[in-house]
Amino acid sequence: MRVLAVHAHPVPESYGRALFEAAVETLRAGGHEVDALDLYAEGFAPAMDADERRRHNVPGPNRRGLEPDIARLERTEALVLVYPTWWFGMPAMLKGWFDRVWMPGVAFDLDAETITPRLTRIRKLTVITTYGSPWWVVNLWLMRADRRIVAGFRRLLHPNCTQEWLALYRLDTATDAARSAFLERVRRSLARL
């Protein structure tokens, strides 16, 4: 399967980066064709500028300057996101990738009444994320806020796309054993993709 693995963490020697590397290695070992997109390493610019905003809703012209990013998204059959959750969501770097690349004519078609998904080639979605907060804050108090955004994107994929959500809570105080166990969980999950 062709897999696009997208990563956003500023520190190359971080645990977050280790999760990304484990994910990519496991997928490659499983025979998948992996496109590893490390947004920080590639110097992605997450803020959509004025010119781009003006043509953002015009399919065709809105692709200008983003052709390589769009091609990587359009050809993939599975999407794996690896990022730390900061505040109540993905880092600006990753949010900007969605803002800029998941545009009309690429991720969906928009007419007056309906939104038609276009990324229907994608049949698997895996999210791997870490939180500073404990489980109950994220899932009860925050009401799984971050998952709501991803649920929105999920609607633009294949109708039967399966989704897996892997989360490590309380990262700042997590023991080495907890970190290793989570790495192992990531490997196991992606070995089954």
What is the distance between the alpha carbons of residues 103 and 58, in angstroms, rounded to a whole number? 9
> Which positions from 79 through 138 interact with other proteins, judged by CB under 8 A?
86-93, 95-96, 98-99, 102, 110, 112, 115, 132-133
**Contacting range for other proteins; rule: CB under 8 A; set: 7-15, 23-31, 72-80, 161-169:** 7-15
| Separation in Å, CA 188 to CA 22, 50, 164, 175 | 10, 43, 12, 20
Q: Tell me how far, at minimum, the Cβ of 104 lies from other proteins, in Å.
A: 10
Q: Tell me how far, at minimum, the Cβ of 85 lies from other proteins, in Å.
A: 11
Q: Tell me how far, at minimum, the Cβ of 21 lies from other proteins, in Å.
A: 17
Judged by CB under 8 A, the residue of 123, 170, 185, 187 near other proteins is 170
Q: What is the 3-state secondary structure (H, E, C) of 125-187?
A: EEEEEECCCCHHHHHHHCCCHHHHHHHHHHCCECCCCEEEEEEECCHHHCCHHHHHHHHHHHH
Binding positions for other proteins, rule: CB under 8 A? 9-12, 14, 40, 46-50, 52-54, 86-93, 95-96, 98-99, 102, 110, 112, 115, 132-133, 142-143, 145, 148-149, 151-153, 155, 170, 172-173
